[in-house]
């Protein structure tokens, strides 16, 4: 009888051992507070609003490579995306002097986000350029800051006033994926030809990157 009870108690554990991983496992989490750039190329640590972040970027970006992942069917990639200062969204007028301001995320060389953000102040009497997010660029026109989790956080550039400051977007993508290697790439194609220091006019950074691997069975 005792043997039977032990077997019943042990059975779920034997079943879980038969699986290669649990159903949902966090394999990467980085808030950048300790300066950890393992697996990241091209990125550097900055600060924003009292927190360490990856950035700020303008005509740049970062790669995050993860290897030796446990067996899985999906990955979930999530992070905070800060859009700093005067992004111009879909703006294409005046010979592309100020836009479009494109931001992209690719996973294993496949594009999952190819969008624009507008952080324009929308002052009466001035053109208020739309953004593509949460849809992709081109052919989508949303109001500035649609989909943002927070707006009017501080700006990053002391030399230039930014009435709209920084907008925070929560990015989360679940992707069918089974390879043991994962390459996440985020970059921008920011356009700002009419200022001496474009990075001071518009830039971006990320924080709290998390990657989970998921089995559906």
Residues that bind Ca ion (CB under 5 A): 31-32, 51-52, 88, 98-99, 101, 191-192, 207
Residues β-bridged to residue 186:
62, 105
Phi, psi of 17 (to 5 degrees): -65, -30
Cβ pair 25, 212 in contact under 8 A: yes
CA-CA distance, 217 to 215, in Å (whole number)? 6
How many Å apart are CA 136 and CA 116, to the nearest integer?
Answer: 7
Pairs from 146-151 (Cβ < 8 Å, separation ≥ 24): 148/83, 149/80
Distance CA 126, CA 148 (A): 22
CB of 174 to Ca ion, least distance (A): 23
Residue 193 CB, nearest approach to Ca ion (Å):
9
User: Which of 110, 159 has the CB closer to Ca ion?
Assistant: 159
Phi, psi (rounded to 5 degrees) for 204? -150, 160
Of 185 and 203, the one with the shorter C-beta distance to Ca ion is 203
**Closer to Ca ion at the Cβ: 69 or 211?**
211
Minimum distance, C-beta of residue 3 to Ca ion, in the bound complex (Å): 52
Q: Which is nearer to Ca ion, 72 or 145 (CB)?
A: 145
Distance of closest approach, residue 180 Cβ to Ca ion, in angstroms: 28
- DSSP 8-state symbol, 58: S
Minimum CB separation of residue 202 from Ca ion in Å reads 5
Residue closer to Ca ion by CB (options 88, 187) is 88
């Amino acid at each position: 009888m005792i043997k039977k009870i032990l077997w019943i108690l042990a059975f779920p554990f034997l079943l879980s051992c038969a699986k290669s991983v649990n159903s949902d496992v966090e394999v990467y989490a980085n808030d950048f507070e300790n300066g950890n750039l393992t697996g990241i190329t091209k990125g550097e640590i900055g600060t924003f609003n009292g927190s360490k972040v990856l950035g700020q970027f303008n005509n740049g970006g970062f790669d995050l490579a993860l290897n030796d992942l446990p067996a899985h069917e999906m990955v979930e990639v999530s992070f905070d995306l800060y859009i700093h200062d005067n992004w111009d969204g879909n703006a294409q007028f005046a010979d592309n002097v100020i836009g479009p301001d494109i931001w992209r995320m690719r996973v294993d060389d496949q594009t999952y986000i190819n969008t624009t953000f507008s952080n324009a102040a929308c002052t009466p009497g001035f053109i208020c350029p739309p953004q593509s997010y949460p849809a992709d660029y081109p052919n989508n026109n949303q109001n500035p800051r649609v989909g943002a989790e927070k707006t009017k956080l501080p700006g990053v550039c002391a030399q230039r006033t930014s009435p709209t400051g920084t907008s925070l977007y929560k990015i989360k993508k679940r992707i069918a994926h089974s390879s043991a290697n994962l390459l996440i790439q985020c970059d921008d194609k920011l356009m700002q030809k009419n200022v001496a220091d474009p990075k001071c006019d518009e830039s971006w950074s990320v924080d709290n990157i998390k990657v989970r691997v998921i089995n559906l069975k």
